[in-house]
Amino acid sequence: MGPSLWTDGILPVLTCLLGAPMGSFAAFLADRLPRGEPVMFARSSCRGCGQVLRWWEMIPILSYVVLRGRCARCGDIIPPRLLQAELAGLALGVLAVWADLGLIGAMALWCLLALILADLVHYRLPNLLTGALLGLALIFATVSIAPVAPDMASLWRAALGASVGAGVFYAISWIYQVLRGRAGMGAGDIRLMGGIGALVVPASGWVGLAMVTLIAGLAGLALGLMRALRRGRALNARTPVPFGACLAMAAALIWVAANIHPGLFANP
Ligand SMILES: [Zn+2]
């Protein structure tokens, strides 16, 4: 296929422009969904004074810099993680264009960002986000890898990846429950592994999926140690660790790497 205005001109620019607003939206969902607050038709408001934000107070990155990280009316501090999320969203949009992942691929990365934020802040992986990741991964496998015609073989691998990813984690959590008499892993982690399996397996095979869990396990251990040290306590099995955030980060890493270097992981 030759170059087209849509795929080589408009779409990359659109994906980059959407980056910061999508980062902002990811932070909004990560903050609201775990609290059970409405997200549809909800206007963003200040957590300090409750005032609905005006349009110029909602321009990603720019508003934060102009307002110096404070509410224009009450002076309450806007959480710096909002700016961090907007910058991360922008970086992921640029990364998606660079790695040629298309808009669906970019949306999968922004969805992973929202999951990371929700888990880091609230230790929650909202069903809406894990469901969206699975949906995006299945669409990506079907249309984005082979844009000429829907690729059913890739869709099948994605579905298999989702089943194995969620199935293995379900088995681990069941065994842990039997041995220790309490839940070691949340249902959110199991649902997340479904989406991650569907995303990673078509691009990087079972080796990629194993790498995701290995990297996430090591990152989770490091994060748990850091959080325990900060509280001045020893790390034990009850230390809360945002393992879902580690899984989502590792998945983004492996998935992007596998799309940039298709031969990086030996496919079965
Ligand atoms: Zn305010």
Residue 191: how many CA atoms within 13 Å on its side-chain side? Answer: 16
- pLDDT band (50, 70, 90) for residue 38: confident
For residue 53, the CA-to-ligand 1 centroid distance in Å is: 9
Structure tokens at 95: 């990364």
pLDDT of residue 170: 93
- Interval between CA 44 and ligand 1 midpoint (Å): 11
Contact 166, 138 (CB under 8 A): no
Encoded amino acid at 37, one letter:
E
Report pLDDT for 268. 47
pLDDT in tens, 133-190: 999 999 999 987 555 567 788 899 999 999 999 999 999 888 888 888 877 778 999 9
Which is more confidently placed, 237 or 59? Answer: 59
Mean pLDDT, rounded, for 226-232: 83
User: What separation in Å is there between the alpha carbon of 255 and the centre of ligand 1?
Assistant: 39
Give the predicted TM-score (pTM) of the model: 0.91
CA of 75 to the centre of ligand 1 (A): 6
Q: How many CB atoms lie within 10 A of CB 2?
A: 4
CA of 41 to the centre of ligand 1 (A): 20
46 alpha carbon to ligand 1 midpoint, in Å? 5
Q: Ligand 1 mean position to 29 CA, how many Å?
A: 20
**Cα-to-centroid distance, 196 and ligand 1 (Å):** 38
How far is the centre of ligand 1, averaged over its atoms, from the C-alpha of 76 (Å)?
Answer: 5
The CA-based angle 204-208-210, given to 5 degrees, is 155
Going from the Cα of 21 to the center of ligand 1, the distance in angstroms, rounded, reads: 21
| 37 compared with 239, residue with greater pLDDT | 37
C-alpha 134 – ligand 1 centre gap (Å): 36
Going from the Cα of 220 to the center of ligand 1, the distance in angstroms, rounded, reads: 35
| H-state helical runs in the chain | 5, 11-32, 62-66, 80-98, 102-122, 127-139, 152-180, 187-230, 243-260
d(CA 187, ligand 1 centre) in Å = 36
